[in-house]
Chains A and B, each alone.
Chain A
Amino acid sequence: MSVFRNDAVAKVCGAAKYADDYTFPGMLHAAPVYGDEVHARILQLDTSRAAAAPGVVRVLTAADVPGHSHWGQLEHDLPIFASTHLRSHGDVVALVVATSREQAIAAAELVELRCEPLPAVTDLRQAFESNQGCAGTDGNSARTLGKHQSHQQKLVYPEKGSNIANHHKLRHGDVDAAFAHCTHRLQRSFSTQAIEHAYMEPEAAVVVPRSDGVLEIFGSMQHPFSTRQFTAALLAVPLSEIEVYTIPVGGGFGGKDDTAAVVCARAALAAKLLQRPVKLTYLREWSMRESYKRHPYLLDYELGLSSDGRILAARIRMLADSGPYLSVTPFVTWRSIVHCCGPYVVPNVHCDVYGVYTNNIFSGAMRGFGSPQVNFAIEQLIEIAAQELDIEPLELRRRNMVHQDCITVTGQRLSGHTVSLSQALDSVLERIGYHEKRARCSYGEGDELYGIGLAMCYRGMSLGSEGTDMCSAIINGQFDGSILLETGIHENGQGSESAMILALSEALGVRRERIRYRRGSTSSIPDSATTVASRGTLMGTSAVVCAAEKLKSQMAKTLAELLRCEPEQVEFRDDALWGGATEEGQARSKLSWDEAVWQLYLRQQTPFAYANFQAPAIDWDEEHGQGNAYFTWVYGCQAAEVLVDKRTGKVRVTNMVAAHDVGKAYNPPMVLGQIYGGITQALGYALSEDFLMKDGRVQSDNFHKYRIPKATDVPELTAIILENPDPASASHAKGIGEPALELGAAAIANALHAATGQRFFSLPMKPAPTPSERSQA
């Protein structure tokens, strides 16, 4: 399997320049000043001592902001500079700018802040129940009103009268009537933890004022357009006055949006006011303290089944901890509600998902985006149900799982693409030898406990009803035959640029070596939204294919006469244009790519094409949570094997196998890399990672207090790529980033049950040590 990465040599030689690697003459250094309260009213902010410290050039606060001191993707509530209130331990009140970084950090200690502490809301359930004096909640929680009156006054935003940030509803069928017909009912609750993205490169920004008034940003962020919006809002300048460049980024996983943009925006304010280059590089401690996390969830499920193993009804409530800022909580929770029943057809569903304000570090986008939490619950529930009905879990899955042309819980018919869930399931079962191994599981018997388990999913691709979904591509052919390519998708390390080059090479039938990916900037290509939602390959390669079709059509029309054929007969392959079939026995006329672009030049034409790929339409009824939520879907399955030391409770994952349908794999080794990386993040989610706060104060501030998997924690991994080309995508490719991550914790949970005989309802899962009988005696 050949590997192509356009950035590989630079990265393996240490030549790739990340944000902190940039320096400019006269560059200043900045450091943030944290408020150090969890919830408080700011009484006085005094920067005079800091401003007088050695090397300090200026101390910036909200008072220096010409535009919006607070911004956000949906609500403008995230403080770039807090001025009246502190609502989390990560809030920043000032930025010290000095000649050296050491001086900036030293002076940050001298900023004096006087606050009046306010009650902090840090428990998700209590935060939700504090709303019960208010209107607009569901019947279930109203019943608990009396018990929890003590929480009534604890509000993150007293003026809102409620801690509810947002509420999605899904009403499908008639749940009450359906439950009445169910022979089996089960109720279970689950909880999940806050997760740090733990990208290896902490946030960093270098901002350089240009002589024409434009600010150039070199930042560690995954969304240049989002960064530009935050910066323009803070500075009150038009978008055209900020130019954000694509440079290598040391990982993102959804985590380098809001906070990374804020870091860039703060540096930009300093650069603009001081008219000098300014660098703001985060320490790991600042990064972990301030950056948003994956949402902690509380999930309450009630399932109703018939005696023949059909899921007839589901009643579900989920609470998602938003922290004090909204970020993309309404989008994350929307994905949760669409996927609330996992990959199963359930005809009657009543689901409520609430985003809830607390004073914890805020939550935002992270790879998985509201799915890993749901899968952890539903993929265990299906097995619990099987056990109660005495049906083989795989059989119960097969009876209920989504299939071609079925109707999902949002009323969407799954059609127009291959519904490949059973293919994914069968591939994994066969590769791992599931049936034989399942028969050997320990269920708590023995000293070293063995278990195997699996989980499966379907996932809506791209943004769905979250926002306008489109992506641009520009092909700029040169007259020497070389080609410059650019798209609105951002290289975050996943290899998107390489995938785009391969897609263009295939679409134009030219050698890959002709194509160079142009370093993008927000000023050179239209805003194509953020590189999120596993949409990079799907939207980016589709835009590339659409632009290539335009270019081919132009070239064919112009050169058909030379090729002695009709334009529609021109073929693009083997680095050349070929005329249509002529008389028998005669060689086909041909123009090499080099000749073809020269002939265009002679005809006053440039080999240039722009295309904007528009995602196919979707529709959504927010009142009932019904509609065609996503224009296409992907399917996947993962299985895990575990060994548990019964005495110590220590878990070792010994094998994992995954199968995912990606539509079409342009760069198979990079698809495998996405799957391996996703599985490994899920392994941490399942067993070791837990972002700890104590009464809202950050405890996990570096890698010794937040354990991500090491090479020795991960088993040999097997990934199977399934390809069912998808007509909804112009390139037939879909996505893999998030599906790869969202199953592992659920698969490991089921394997742990098979090993220990116990269910684990909260993450991370930690089997209790069992003292040996001898030591008990």
Chain B
Amino acid sequence: MSLRINQREVQPTEEQASKSLLDYLRDELGLTGTKIGCRKGICGSCVVLVDEKAVRACRTPLRKLLDAEGDTQVRTIEALRAPDGALHPIQQAFIDAGAIQCGYCTPGMVMSSVALLHRNPKPTREQIRQGLAGNLCRCTGYQQIIDAVALASERMESADEGE
């Protein structure tokens, strides 16, 4: 029984399999970029991608993701950069739009944004707000985060056109 985390196959022990995905990532794999805010599935600080969908790692039992094929794909904030180290367009847009303050919500916010633009590459600002309604931020008032996702959407679209 296994799964793939950031492109790497992992085979948790029976004891590890009883943990949440959040605790497994942080405590067993040292992937501390995924944050703990409430452990109740409310704040979104622990959002990661499971098969490109935004999932709250605190409410996801690791066992649920395991199967014999091991083809469930988990992606965390640590694996968002391109192999050459270039930032993902959403990461770059968060920087350029001034969307970062304390940074604690940022990994979850970025991962939710990736999932959002994956299912809707050209969202309106209202759709961005709805897409991020499950991610709490106490610093920014969301304004520059919405700006960042809109900017990333624009840049990703023109990059696609360029290809």
Contact = CB atoms under 8 A, between A and B. Distances in A.
A708 B138 contact: yes
Contacts of A677: 101, 138-141
A669 to B, nearest CB: 4
Nearest to B130: A712
Given A12-B95, A15-B33, A717-B141, A495 B38 contact: no
B144 A493 contact: no
B4 to A, nearest CB: 18
Contacts of A284: 37-40
Interface in B80-104: 80-81, 87, 91, 94-98, 100-104
Contact of B125 (A672, A673, A703, A716): A716
A200 B144 contact: no
B15 to A, nearest CB: 11
Given A3-B98, A248-B102, A200 B37 contact: yes
A317 to B, nearest CB: 32
B43 interface: yes
Interface stretch (A17-25, A343-351, A477-485, A502-510): A17-25
A669 B129 contact: no
B103 A493 contact: yes
A492 B97 CA distance: 19
B40 A702 contact: yes
A200 B91 contact: no
B54 interface: no
Interface in B118-143: 125, 128-130, 132-143
A250 B40 contact: no
Interface in A83-98: none
A3 B102 contact: no
A716 B143 contact: yes
Contacts of A283: 39
Interface stretch (B65-73, B105-113, B153-161): B105-113
A253 B138 contact: yes
A20 B32 CA distance: 9
Interface string A1-35: 00101011111111111101101000000000000
A250 B98 contact: no
A453 interface: no
B2 interface: no
Nearest to B105: A200
Interface centre among A249, A679, A703 (most CB of B within 10 A): A703
A17 B32 contact: yes
Contacts of B104: 18, 199-201, 248, 250-251, 493
A627 to B, nearest CB: 35
A487 interface: no
A10 B87 CA distance: 11
Nearest to A740: B141
A392 B87 CA distance: 54
A577 to B, nearest CB: 33
Interface of A: 3, 5, 7-18, 20-21, 23, 197-202, 248-253, 281, 283-284, 492-495, 669-670, 672-673, 676-681, 702-704, 708-712, 714, 716-717
Given A3-B97, A199-B104, A251-B102, 6 more contacts: A14-B76, A197-B138, A200-B105, A669-B98, A676-B144, A710-B136
Interface of B: 26, 30-40, 42-43, 45, 76-78, 80-81, 87, 91, 94-98, 100-107, 110, 125, 128-130, 132-146
5 contacts: A12-B103, A251-B138, A284-B38, A703-B37, A704-B40
